[in-house]
């Protein structure tokens, strides 16, 4: 019991460090916490939190290969014990999809996102945060493929979801507005693009958690800003 409680504390602290951008400290803490679980522990929410947190951490550090290996091994074990996708496995798949996004292997990532969309979730309806991660992933894929109508639809949906979170007010909203501005510019909607860009700049002063959604505020924001600078 003490080991489980300590794991939960370390995972919470590791995520807090990651949200603050202290990636190396978070990585060390989470790696030190990772031990071979018992059969009962393997399916607990705390152990899933640890795997997802560590996988996301590797992606932020541009070290997605060990994250991919870690998550795929866990999901392979899961295939023999669960026949339907659950909320827990959905979270693992979302983190795995991010490893593919980090490698620009968007076809593989898209396959995972589509599977999550089409599967009936066995535990309950997909909750808001996994839904947000799913939409952010789909938005980025459409954006990278220059499918501007689809990108606009996904980013707009992201904006509606993220506004329901305390963490979302600020930097996360800023990145979404900036992405929408980029899409609108590509669609020839200069006036609306400028408005979205203005909203993005307002959000830069609103605070909020910077590294809340894996990849969004780090390598995705760098990518979209680099794209805009070339216009």
Give the pLDDT of residue 123: 42
Give the pLDDT of residue 207: 72
1-122 shares its CATH topology with 127-231: yes
CB 20 within 8 A of CB 211: yes
Q: Which sequence spans correspond to the domains of the chain?
A: 1-122, 127-231
* Residue 137 phi, psi (nearest 5): -60, -45
For residue 175, how many other CB atoms are within 10 A of its CB?
26
Q: Which CATH number fits domain 127-231: 1.25.40, 1.10.940, 1.10.1760, 1.10.3470?
A: 1.25.40
* Full pLDDT tens readout for the chain, 231 residues: 677 788 889 999 999 999 999 999 999 999 999 886 666 667 788 889 999 999 999 999 999 999 999 999 888 876 655 545 677 789 999 999 999 999 999 999 999 999 988 875 544 456 788 889 999 999 999 999 999 999 999 999 999 998 888 766 788 999 999 999 999 999 999 999 999 989 888 887 767 788 999 999 999 999 998 877 665
For residue 45, how many other CB atoms are within 10 A of its CB?
12
Q: Six-digit token pair at 52? A: 């997802």
* Entry pTM: 0.89
Which residue bears the tokens 């620009």? 104
Find out if CATH 3.40.30.10 is the number for domain 1-122: no
């Amino acid at each position: 019991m003490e080991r489980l409680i300590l794991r939960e504390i370390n995972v919470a602290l590791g995520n807090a460090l990651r949200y603050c951008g202290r990636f190396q400290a978070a990585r060390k803490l989470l790696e030190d916490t990772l031990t071979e679980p018992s059969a009962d522990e393997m399916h607990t929410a705390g152990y899933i939190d640890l795997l997802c947190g560590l996988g996301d951490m590797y992606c932020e550090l541009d070290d997605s290969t060990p994250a991919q290996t870690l998550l795929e091994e866990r999901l392979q074990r899961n295939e023999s014990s669960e026949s339907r996708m659950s909320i827990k496995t959905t979270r693992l798949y979302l983190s795995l999809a991010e490893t593919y996004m980090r490698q620009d292997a968007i076809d593989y990532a898209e396959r995972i996102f589509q599977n999550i969309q089409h599967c009936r979730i066995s535990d309950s309806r997909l909750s808001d945060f996994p839904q947000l991660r799913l939409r952010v992933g789909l938005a980025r894929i459409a954006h990278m493929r220059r499918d501007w109508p689809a990108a606009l639809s996904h980013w707009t949906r992201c904006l509606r979801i993220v506004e329901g979170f305390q963490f979302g007010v600020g930097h996360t909203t800023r990145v979404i507005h900036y992405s929408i501005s980029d899409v609108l510019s590509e669609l020839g909607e200069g006036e609306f693009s400028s408005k979205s860009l203005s909203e993005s700049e307002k959000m830069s002063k609103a605070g909020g958690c910077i590294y809340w959604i894996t990849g969004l505020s780090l390598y995705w924001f760098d990518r979209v800003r680099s794209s805009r600078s070339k216009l």
